[in-house]
Structure 1
Amino acid sequence: MNFEFVSADYPTSPGVYLMKDTLGRIIYVGKARDLRRRLSSYFRAVQKHTPKTRVLVSKIRAIDTMVTATEKEALLLEASLIKKHRPRYNVVLRDDKQYVLFQLDKKSEYPRLRLTRKVVRDGSVYFGPYTSSYYARETWKLLGKVFPLRKCSDSAFKNRVRPCLYHDMKQCLGPCVNVIPHDEYMGMVRKVEMLLSGRAGDLLAFLRKEMDTAAAALEYERAAVFRDQIKAVTKTVEKQSVVLGERTDIDVLGLSESDRGVALGLLFVRRGRLLDKKNFFWPGLSLEDGEEILQSFIAQFYTATKFIPTRLIVPFEFDMDGSAEILSDRSRTPVRIVTAHTGEEKRLLEIARKNAAIGAREKKNDSILDVLAAKLHLQGLPNRIECIDASHLGGEGMRVGMVVYEEAGAEKSQYRTYSFPELEHSSDDYAALYSWVVRRIESGPPWADLILIDGGRGQLASVEKAFADNWKEEGPIPQFASIAKGPTRKAGELEDRIFLPGRKNHLPLKGGSPELLFLQRVRDEAHRFVIGRQRKSRKKKVLQSEVLSLPGIGPKTARLLWDAFGAVDRMKAATEEELAGITGIGKKRARQIYEAFKDV
């Protein structure tokens, strides 16, 4: 039965609309300045719509609306709902991880340079981002050797009574024990800031002058220090090319269309230098969807904990004021979204477009989802797969681990473990899986298109019954499948068997087929994840128990010792001074702990 649209049923206010299919699933979330006018446009002149929109309209069976006070609020709500529900026909940002930044905490008396993935508005200065954490870490190590700022945390710095190993390795100036005058330390900080803020030329000129002065004064060791710093600066900036005459921070967004979809190329330009790049791809879209792509990308990608530049260059004009206002609120500084005007900006936009085109050609087709849908007789593509594995060690530590795959790729930030103390010593996998379903439903969407269970027909039936007993959502219950070991009971063997609800025999999947190999890989990841978490928890419990058995050490002190050392042997080997240096443990208690360890 097709959806009958009646425009009078919808308000003329700004807000968000949610389109649902026959099964009640949210398939599209949109925003509008005038909900009635926007929704009416879907049902007028359907033949003029893009193929994507025509398919979307054909699947609509219900439309819900949420009214907001302003269009800006609608844009924010739309981004939040897209992230929550991940609708099939929306532009959903799959790779929205936080990239690596350098943080220089200038408010500290002795600032340190560290790597972080989140921006905190605390007066610190941030440099980046870097899409490669390896490159960022290598750069940090290189800078740490030639610009030896402190490495320790603020709490460790305040409680330290003697220099650490970094000082012995000459990779820290030892400000914790006043080895270096404050002015000299801050001079080193200024050098690091000059380098990371794009003033490498000024820094190199200064260092060469200092090196020549030291050499002329026959201070060859000091001259060698400046020589090493010059080499480090040169090595750091040689991978960056100057693309703008002005020292400004901008991001450049370029779009490119292929026969399979649309790619977006993102360039990070910091202080006039091209620092890094990243590509994104959405299958099934065309450049006619360009405005939706840009608005959705900007709202989803630039979160409050990311570094947001003062200017974004986009390939064409759209309703940019609302997006710019949101970014300005998140960064607490004015942000402009503009099109390219100068020759330099147009050249950068073309570079971004070419990178997007290359990324689109390199993007592999996720056809495995189509194969899975056909082989497992699923209703639609399994864009979100949750795989669960119940595990225990001799009946102890009963846990269910859940790994998540979206668009056939692992989403490690969404991995979860669920513990069930009430099932301790029971060894009841079925009860654990049933309890997991209850907890999973309580946690809410996004819901899986497919839940894969590590086990046979019994485990599958337990999960199916639990959903039937507890599901109260409007939409349909997720689809299920289980994967069991074959005749030899070895994980990963070619004869692993796939079971579906209501089917007595396993599916006749060919050993070594792409769909079976993919399901085995997902199952093995779930097994690896839950076993790793279980062993880590067990080890921690044993170690804490061993520490708590010592006289005079309670749970709070055991927690402090565990966080500081991580192993009982290291605790026993610690000196009184090292124990006293732990925040929360004074000299008196450190003496008691030291004596307790001596008697063990």
Structure 2
Amino acid sequence: MTQEFKFFAARYPDAPGVYLMKNGRGRIIYVGKAKRLRRRLASYFQKNSGHTRKTRALVAQVASVEVLLTGTEKEALLLESGLIKKHRPRYNVVLKDDKQYVLFKLDKGSAYPRLSITRRVVRDGSVYFGPFTSAAAARTTWKLLGKVFPLRKCTDHVFNNRVRPCLYHDIHQCFAPCVKDVDRDMYMDQVRRVEMLLSGKSGELVASLERQMAQASGALEFERAAECRDQIRAVRKTVEGQVAVIHDNRDRDIAGLAVTDKGLGLGLLFVRQGRLLDQKQFFWPGLALEEGPEVVRSFLMQFYGVGRFIPSVIISPFEVDDDSLCQVLAERRGGPVRVAQPRSTQEKKLLDIARSVARQARERKDTISERLQKALRLPEPPERIECVDASHLGGRDMRVGQVVFEGGHRVAEDSRLYAFDELDGTGDDYAALAAWARRRVESGPPWPDLVLLDGGKGQLKAVERALSECVDDACWQLAAIAKGETRRAGELEDMIFRPGRKNPLNLRPGGAEMLFLQKVRDAAHRFVLGRQRRARKKAVLSSELTSLPGIGPKTARILWDRFESIEAMTGAGPGEIEALPGIGKKRAARIHASLQGLGKPESD
């Protein structure tokens, strides 16, 4: 049971920074930022403070609080956002759907601009249009525009190196400026038409095209008139479904909140040049409307990340009293950003539409953590999973590799390799895994929600017994994934064992839960084998290195710390070697001479 946390205000500075609240297992359950840390933390632990239900549940779980100081509140906001994305704390508003949406990019800085599809905004002088939540719909529009506005399709590299026209030119969907002498004024006229269409000026574009069609028809230039006719049809088809909702040419996003039967929904409208372009829903289970201001602030910081298209106006259902947020968004956009409540009647109507979209938000499907909780019969969803695999080479070089997955994603920097030289020559996987369990307890938090072992009931029992000897309360959740009769990793015959059960769990072969566990197991297997082979290769090279005159084990270690490979050592000059600690000029010359002879055939 978690011991009640005792808060002492004097322990915390009254300065800007980030605070990390951890539970009894050392896991970060909440990340927050504050302009004055001491005052903000004190507000959590005051009695009768009128906290929301979520905050009361959070405070009941807190076992320790760690703070990270920053120079300004803006720096604290950036640090908070990065830590939320990395640790995905249980009580923070975490944006699960944080993918970049599709945009149209018109690279106007090029001599012959092209219209392409991208997911990132780069400040290179290009013009961007969007976003579109449906990549399929965006590609359909792109293909339609490509048929009637024959701009080039190839990248700059292909454009600069092409020697003959491509297929698009043969089917009359590209002018082929890469190899042909294309009139640039005529080409840029097509570019302006595309830009007018995507900027929402379809009415002006259609009127212009109709005038040009009439002029061409009157001059008996029927081919040019047919081209204008086709472009008019394409424009009208492209703008179908884009409703004019506000009478100005500004881009704005509108965020609306609404309570549903199971949580809090957020609807986001994308309005471009006064037309409703697209919409998106988000959902957080268990939250109430009273958490709304925090939800909106955290959402805006996570959603409008670096590389995202950010409009100049963001309409919020609450007043966002945070100047640092607007500063960060303005820097990411490269221009001013206003985050405010609706001012005009039209903006209020848009907010009502966003609320209607939010009411339809639902949690679409269980996360992989929630699926694993049900399949493995765990007390709570396993957010942090540590998978271990024991490996040796003919009984030698006993190693245990550990990989970590959080929120269904690999955390590569948390991978660890444990060496057990005392077990060399035994080839005892059970003893190695038991030794790993003891070492893992000694290393401390963050503790795993689930430990997955590459093995069967024997490996599971060995780790369970070791943990019972060094942990008072055997609260670690364990599981083992064993290969089937074919003994091949990834086969559908893989079996999952849990402590206290004689038979494996009945997981559907090919199901999401089994495939994920196989993925985690395979990652641990590849990690330990890769590190083992690398260490063996380095040992062989070190042995070859120490056989050279003037290079012993200590010098070899110094060389390996400075240079990553034998090739780097042999390519180093005497001056670089002399700069190493404890090596003088004369010795550096001898070492350099020895290294130059490394790998060369001996003379007769």
For residue 52 of structure 1, report the CA deviation from its aligned partner: 1.2
Q: Counterpart in 2 of 1:520?
A: 514
1:307 corresponds to 2:305: no
Aligned to 2:226, the other structure's residue is in SS state helix
Of 173, 176, 201, 1:174 maps to 176
- Which residue matches 2:481? 483
Counterpart mapping for 1:86-125 below 5 A: 86-125=88-127
* DSSP-derived class of the 1:170 partner: coil
Q: What is aligned with 1:226? A: 228
What is the match of residue 12 of structure 2?
10
The structure 2 residue matched to 1:130, chosen from 124, 129, 132, is 132
Q: In the alignment, residue 131 of structure 2 is paired with which amino acid?
A: P
Equivalent positions of 1:153-302 (< 5 A) are 153-302=155-304
Greater relative contact order structure (CA < 8 Å, 6+ sep)? 1
Which SS does the other structure have where 1:176 is aligned?
A: coil
What is the alpha-carbon distance in structure 2 between the residues aligned to residue 107 and residue 390 of structure 1?
56
Runs of at least 5 residues in structure 1 that lack an aligned partner in the other structure:
392-399, 421-427, 438-444, 469-475, 532-600
- Quick check: 2:481–2:521 contact (8 Å CA) kept in 1? no
Using a 3 Å threshold, how does the CA distance of structure 1 residues 260 and 110 change in structure 2: closer, same or farther? same
Q: Which amino acid aligns with 2:505?
A: L
Contact 1:401 1:529 (8 Å CA) reproduced: no
State yes or no: 1:509 paired with 2:511: no
CA change 1:384–1:208 in 2 (3 A) is farther
CA contact (8 A) 1:401 1:526 kept: no
Match of 1:177, SS state, is: coil
CA–CA distance in 2 between the matches of 1:446 and 1:218?
78
Separation in 2, partners of 1:146, 1:466: 71
Q: Which deviations, in whole Å up to 9, do the C-alpha atoms of 1:157-214 show, x marking residues without a partner?
A: 1122211121112111111123421111111111111111111111111111111222
Note the residue ranges of structure 2 that are not aligned, 5 or more in a row.
Answer: 392-400, 418-426, 437-444, 469-473, 526-604
The match for 2:338 among 332, 336, 339 is 336
Corresponding letter in the other structure for 2:480: S
- Which residue of 2 is the match for residue 596 of structure 1? none
Q: Which sits farther off after the overlay, 519-528 or 131-140?
A: 519-528
Change in CA separation of 1:280 and 1:402 when aligned onto 2, cut-off 3 Å: farther
Q: 2:159 is aligned with what amino acid? A: F
Distance across 1 between alignment mates of 2:108 and 2:464: 56
For residues 155 and 466 of structure 1, do their structure 2 counterparts lie closer, same or farther at Cα, with a shift above 3 Å needed?
A: farther
Structure 1 residues 465, 233: closer, same or farther in 2, change over 3 A? farther
Alignment-derived partner of residue 28 in structure 1:
30
What do residues 418-450 of structure 1 show as CA deviations (whole Å, max 9, x unaligned)? 9x9xxxxxxx9x89x99xx9xxxxxxx999644
| Structure 1 residue 380, shift from structure 2 partner | 3.4
Q: Is the 8 A contact 1:388 1:526 kept in 2?
A: no
- SS where residue 255 of structure 2 aligns? strand
Q: Tell me, in whole angstroms, the C-alpha distance in 1 between the residues paired with 2:32 and 2:304.
A: 19
The answer on whether the counterparts of 2:386 and 2:405 sit within 8 Å (CA) in structure 1 is: yes
1:545 aligned residue: none
Which whole-Å CA distance do the structure 1 matches of 2:390 and 2:207 have between them?
62
- Is the 8 Å Cα contact of residues 389 and 526 (structure 1) preserved in structure 2? no
Most deviating of 104-113 and 381-390 = 381-390
Please report how far the alpha carbon of residue 259 of structure 1 lies from its aligned counterpart in structure 2 after TM superposition: 3.2
Matches within 5 A, 1:199-598: 199-360=201-362, 363-364=363-364, 366=366, 369=369, 372-373=372-373, 376=376, 378=378, 380-383=380-383, 406=407, 449-450=449-450, 452=452, 456-457=456-457, 480-484=478-482, 497-500=495-498, 503=499, 505-506=501-502, 509-510=505-506, 517-523=511-517
Q: More deviation in 190-199 or 65-74?
A: 65-74
Name the CA distance, whole Å, in 1 between partners of 2:12 and 2:446. Answer: 27
Shift of 1:302: 0.7
The 2-side partners of 1:519 and 1:225 are apart by 54
Report the residue type matching 1:381 in the other structure. Answer: P
CA distance in 2, matches of 1:446, 1:273: 48
CA contact under 8 A between 1:29 and 1:87: conserved in structure 2? yes
* Matched-pair contact (CA < 8 Å) for 2:25–2:447: no
Deviation (angstroms), 1:320? 3.4
- TM-score, normalising length: structure 1: 0.72
1:84/1:446 contact within 8 Å kept: no
For residues 395-425 of structure 1, the C-alpha deviation after alignment (integer angstroms, 9 at most, x for no partner) is xxxxx9999683xxx66x9899x9x9xxxxx
CA distance in 1, matches of 2:153, 2:358: 38
Q: Could you state the TM-score of these two structures normalised by the residue count of structure 2?
A: 0.72
RMSD: 4.3
1:457-481: CA deviation from partner (whole Å, max 9, x where unpaired): 578799999999xxxxxxx998552
Q: Which of structures 1 and 2 has the bigger CA Rg? A: 2
Counterpart residue type for residue 298 of structure 2: S
Q: Is 1:388–1:403's contact at 8 Å kept on the other side of the alignment?
A: no
SS for the counterpart of 1:267 is: strand
* Structure 1 residues 272 and 415: CA distance shift in structure 2, 3 A: farther
Taking every aligned residue pair, what percent have the same amino acid on both sides? Answer: 54
Distance 1:369 1:316 in 2: 32
1:51/1:265 CA distance change after superposition, 3 Å: same
C-alpha distance after superposition, 1:293-319 (max 9, x if no partner): 111111111112111100100001131
- Tell me, in whole angstroms, the C-alpha distance in 1 between the residues paired with 2:367 and 2:216: 64
CA contact (8 A) 2:489 2:522 kept: no
Alignment correspondent of 1:586 = none
d(CA) in 1 for partners of 2:466, 2:335: 50
Q: 1:521 Cα shift?
A: 4.0
- Supply the distance in 2 between the matched residues of 1:147 and 1:61 (Cα, whole angstroms): 63
Could you report, residue by residue, the CA deviation over 1:50-72 in whole angstroms, capped at 9, with x for unpaired residues?
Answer: 12111111111111111222211
**Aligned equivalents of 1:118 and 1:367: distance in 2?**
26
CA distance in 2, matches of 1:162, 1:215: 34
Query: 1:16-55 alignment to 2 at 5 Å?
Result: 16-46=18-48, 48-55=50-57
* 1:85 and 2:87 matched: yes
Q: How big is the shift at 1:48?
A: 2.1
What amino acid maps onto 1:126 in structure 2? Answer: Y
Q: Structure 1 residues 165 and 367 mapped into 2: Cα distance closer, same or farther (>3 Å)?
A: closer
**Residue 520 of structure 1: CA displacement?**
2.0
Secondary structure at the aligned position of 1:352 is classed as: helix
1:110–1:483 distance in 2 versus 1, CA, 3 Å: same
| Structure 2 residue matching 1:381: 3-state secondary structure | coil
Asked if 2 retains the 8 angstrom alpha-carbon contact of 1:253 and 1:264, the reply is yes
3-state SS in 1 of match to 2:178: helix
The separation in 1 between residues aligned to 2:494 and 2:465, in whole angstroms, is: 24
**Distance in 2 separating the partners of 1:165 and 1:447:** 58
